[in-house]
Amino acid sequence: MPIYFFDLINGSGLLRDDEGLELDDPEQAREAAIRSARDVAGNDIREGKGASLQSLIAIRDALGVEIGRVTFADALKITA
């Protein structure tokens, strides 16, 4: 089963994922990135930090090649 890595890129820089997850395919990796972005944003909001919609999760394959990105704006629905 392929392994995918999920790096957080935000205003503070890069937080590299060194563990990764074994998933069936790139679509499952994208779904995992969306969940991760929502988790990070939720934690930031609970801590009163706010969440930047420009922050993103970069998805890498086992070779370290970036295969996709999910911005927080892609993962969150904000309404007035």
The pLDDT of residue 29: 98
pLDDT band of 57, cuts 50, 70, 90? very high
First to last CA, the chain: 42
Q: What does the pLDDT read at residue 54?
A: 87
* pLDDT tens digit sequence for 15-55: 999 999 999 999 999 999 999 999 999 888 888 887 788 89
Burial class (CB in 10 A: 0-12, 13-18, 19+), 53: middle
Angle (CA) 67-3-9 rounded to 5° is: 50
The pTM for the full model equals 0.89
Work out the average pLDDT over 5-22: 95
